[in-house]
Amino acid sequence: MKTRGNRVLVLGNYRQALTVIRSLGRAGYHVIAGIEGTQPFIGYSRYTAEVWQHPSVDTEESDFVAALNDLLDKNADGLLIYPTGDNQISCIARNIGQLRNSITVVMPDPVTALNCQNKSHVCELNQQLGIPQPEFGKAFSYPELRSIVEHIGYPCVIKPNDSFASVNILFTNSVTLIFR
């Protein structure tokens, strides 16, 4: 069902974005590929009607939000926004209050999206629900990290609470690899 016009902005230069673009293009939507960076492979799809070059959602978040609002103003008849990556989803979730009120975003509500991306929140929820998972801990300093790692043992996976995919993850089998 097509609502709010026939235009969709797909954000994220990922394989899943290409699948979304193909599906929407085949269904007759006017697909705008949101591109940041220099290798916009999704922009080359035959189902991409136009390309929108935008500031980075990671390093230029406020500029991205301003540029997105400008694009929304130019598409007053309606524009669906379809973020396909964790970075794009979290950026929109954090800034939903700064975006034009008339937008429709294809993603969970902002609170749910941010909660799902919060690793410690998900682990604590799993624990409450009795869902099996590896032992985990939360550290805010190196001494806390050392204590947790000594308690859990090796091998150990160490990752930031809010990173995405496999970014900034450390797999280790010894304390020397962590604290050198």
Q: Which pair of tokens denotes residue 140? A: 């805010």
- Given this model, what pLDDT does residue 41 score? 83
pLDDT at 86: 87
Q: What is the pLDDT of residue 96?
A: 92
Residue 2, pLDDT score:
43
Are 46 and 25 in contact by the 8 Å Cβ rule? The answer is yes
Q: So what's the pLDDT on residue 26?
A: 96
> Which pTM value belongs to this model?
0.77
Q: In degrees rounded to 5, what are phi and psi of residue 43?
A: -70, -15
pLDDT at residue 63, rounded to an integer:
95
Q: Return contacts of 152-156, CB within 8 angstroms, 24+ apart.
A: none
Contact 61/91 with Cβ under 8 angstroms?
yes
Q: What is the mean pLDDT of each run of 10 residues along the chain (180 residues)?
A: 71 92 96 86 91 92 94 86 92 91 85 84 88 87 85 82 66 67
Q: Which domains does the chain have, with CATH numbers?
A: 7-115 (3.40.50.20), 133-178 (no CATH)
